[in-house]
Structure 1
């Protein structure tokens, strides 16, 4: 049967919110919002897996990675880059963005994020764009080993945990005057717990100086 999709079947943003001005604190607020999107995707991943919608769950992994990278990028982007982002002229290139983040932040651990992206990007692209490997796994012609589902849930949980660590980093820098030391100590304790969770998932290595 041949049929034509109705012209009204389309999706797009009608109202452009480009008139809003970004103030000094706004990029960090948007950064925290991006990290919360990682959490939202992780909750959705669990829900979808529980209901047997594994194809949709795997398709969320690349947007999860990109939300994490965007949250970091927002903290280190310069004024011109933020203007382009606000105008919708920016297209995230994860590899280039991570390299920029590492260079401008001086934070060595973000190099691990680059390694993760390089290792995983082909698989992530395939699940979003419906590669042969993605479709054959949903076709019923092969049995999906439980290890692949475990890998999916672990990857999603790890991304959400990394987003939580970055939220604690933001929180440690936004203490009420006079409470800076107490805030840093509280955030440090949370980070210890979060890193321990990553270690329990076998997706992080605790290094001692």
Structure 2
């Protein structure tokens, strides 16, 4: 399970995440990519990914942690597919998918294409998410695997029993999803967002004690 060292409570982490969400929402509203089948389909996927991340935060706040964690996979998948449409898919593939005449390729093929063609900051964001919550864990969380079931007994009663570190880790994962979505839209042709501004926006939500997170974003900025 994904965890991060932190000196803040879950309530403080959520407050920070909701503040970042508000900033990302405002940034996305400024984006004006040139309309095309590619930007419409990829933009919809980025937006869906960001919506899943926002829902994760709301569910965690409502103490529906299992349902929140179940959204980690669809949030990641939507972001990954958005990157694939932006940088890998052919015009024919985009048309076929948009017209419901074909499905998306499998994630293994999509990931291979994104790794070769997507910009560094988007690749890095996806990579951090994938390493933090590998595909088998994402699958189990979504489809009622042991990753969910073994956290539903506290020794006395059956109830959700995720550690606070795990929950905080997924709050931060949701912020990474929002970061990736904002970067994806910022990279759209004709958009008004600068990817570096998006990275700085994300970085500004972390305080000085988040050395790991700050180092990660600094590396992303250096690769742009």
Choose the corresponding residue for 1:98, options 86, 99, 111.
111
Choose the corresponding residue for 1:152, options 170, 176, 188.
170
TM normalised by structure 1 equals 0.70
1:196 aligns with 2:203: yes
- Aligned partner of 1:25 in structure 2 is 36
Q: 1:189 to 1:110 in 2, by over 3 A?
A: closer
- CA drift of 1:28 comes to 0.8
Q: 1:51 to 1:167 in 2, by over 3 A?
A: same
- Aligned partner of 1:164 in structure 2 is 182
- CA drift of 1:93 comes to 2.2
Choose the corresponding residue for 1:187, options 175, 181, 194.
194
- Aligned partner of 1:89 in structure 2 is 102
- Aligned partner of 2:55 in structure 1 is 44
- CA drift of 1:46 comes to 1.3
User: In structure 2, how many angstroms separate the alpha carbons of the residues matched to 1:194 and 1:72?
Assistant: 20
Q: 1:64 to 1:55 in 2, by over 3 A?
A: same
Give the unaligned 5+ runs of structure 2. 1-34
Q: Give the conservation status (yes or no) of the 8 Å contact 1:42–1:157.
A: yes
Q: 1:197 to 1:37 in 2, by over 3 A?
A: farther
Higher RCO structure, 1 or 2 (CA under 8 Å, sep 6+):
2
1:63 aligns with 2:74: yes
Q: Tell which structure's C-alpha radius of gyration is larger.
A: 1
1:126 aligns with 2:144: no
* CA deviations over 1:66-103 (Å, ceiling 9, x no partner): 01011111113013322442325324422321211233
**1:137 partner SS:** coil
Q: 1:131 to 1:88 in 2, by over 3 A?
A: farther
**2:187 partner SS:** helix
Q: Give the conservation status (yes or no) of the 8 Å contact 2:49–2:177.
A: yes
Give the unaligned 5+ runs of structure 1. 1-23, 176-182
- Aligned partner of 1:15 in structure 2 is none
- CA drift of 1:149 comes to 0.6
Aligned residues: 174
